[in-house]
Amino acid sequence: MSAQVAVVTGANRGIGRAIAVALAADGFDVAVTARDPATLADTVAEVEKAGGTAVALACDVREEGSVAAMAEVAASIGPVHTVVANAGVAGPTAPLHEISLDEWRDCVATDLDGVFLTFRAFVPLMISAGEGSLIAISSMTGKRPLTGRTPYAASKMGVIGLVRTLALELGPYGIRVNAVCPGAVAGPRIEDVVRKQAAARGISEDDALALFTGSSPLGRLVQAHEVGRTCAFLASAGASAITGEDVNVTAGVVMY
Look up 256 and say whether it is catalytic: no
Instruction: Give pTM, 2 decimals.
Output: 0.94
- Choose, from 152, 160, 170, 175, the residue flagged as catalytic: 152
Mean confidence (pLDDT) of the chain: 96
Distance CA 155, CA 148 (A): 14
pLDDT score, position 2 = 54
Domains of the chain, start order? 5-184+222-249 (3.40.50.720)
* Tens-place pLDDT, residues 92-110: 999 999 999 999 999 999 9
pLDDT: which is higher, 128 or 190 = 128
**pLDDT over 50 (residue 1):** no
* Tens-place pLDDT, residues 162-214: 999 999 999 999 999 999 999 999 988 888 888 988 998 999 999 998 888 88
